[in-house]
Amino acid sequence: MRRQTPALLVAAVLVASCSPSEPPADSSPNPAPGAAPATSPSSPVADAQQAKSLELYRTLHKEQQWELAAPIGKEIVDKWPGSAAAKEVQETLADATAKATEIATRRRLVAMWSYQAGKESGGDQVTASIYSSDLAADKRVRLILRRHSAWGQSVYLFGGGKGFECKGTCSLAARFDDKPQKIAAYLPDTGEPALFIKDDKAFIAKLAGTQKLSIDVTEKGKEPRTLVFEVGGYDAAKFPQLAKRK
């Protein structure tokens, strides 16, 4: 007999879970008031579902497929509490759930970054960018890392509206996770709604080990606010160095 793959086993368990259980062979009248409820006999269908779910959990756990194992394990514990299967699953479920959560969080953080490569103004260019965590789209500011074969490397904030308040070289209060840092910044000569970070090399070096970046800014015509970027999914390999053109 061909061995079922985890995906097929998952489908089989889901179908079985949605199927109606067999009614008990004997029907008993409602218990008298105050009497303890009678224990229903185990159903062959339920026993088969439980065994199949446990087999699937064991397989997924062994193969370290935490995102699939965790919900199957939770179903076993919730659906058949006190059973031998539930007791076995409970020994490893907390760890499997924690690992599944970690994987899902990592995937979300990675997806927040956008990477692009191409030609720009006669040169090669690569960028890595992420939006601030504001819920309203019109309030979001983009943090952009840029490398250009002719212009070199830049790091800047790009917003909407009239841009940012900054005279000459201004100092921004920032926090790499919980570590405070002062960042020197300046406005571009082109008048774009951007704010450039002066020491881009040091900024990128700190960014690589940071989960949450906070930067205090003031936009023209608006109240000061703190921009928050969930930068933990940054992948330096997707933002490569470029050979500088002479």
Q: What is the pLDDT of residues 152-174, one digit of tens each?
A: 999 999 998 899 999 999 999 99
Q: What pLDDT is recorded for position 138?
A: 87
Quick one: what percent of the chain has pLDDT higher than 90? 73
pLDDT at 1 > cutoff 80: no
Identify which has the larger pLDDT, 47 or 6: 47
Q: What pLDDT is recorded for position 24?
A: 42
Averaged confidence pLDDT in the chain: 86
Q: Give domain limits for the chain.
A: 6-20+42-110, 114-238
Q: Which CATH class is domain 114-238?
A: mainly beta
pLDDT digits (tens, 9 = 90+) for 176-232: 998 999 999 999 998 899 999 999 999 999 998 899 999 999 999 999 999 999 999
Q: What pLDDT is recorded for position 34?
A: 46
Q: How confident is the model at residue 123 (pLDDT cuts 50, 70, 90)?
A: very high
Please choose, from the candidates 163, 225, 156, the residue with its C-alpha nearest in 3D space to the C-alpha of residue 196.
Answer: 156
Q: What pLDDT is recorded for position 190?
A: 87
pLDDT digits (tens, 9 = 90+) for 28-80: 445 444 443 333 346 888 889 999 999 999 999 999 999 999 999 999 999 99
Q: How confident is the model at residue 15 (pLDDT cuts 50, 70, 90)?
A: very low
Q: How confident is the model at residue 245 (pLDDT cuts 50, 70, 90)?
A: low
Distance of alpha carbon 154 from the chain centroid: 27
Q: What pLDDT is recorded for position 43?
A: 83
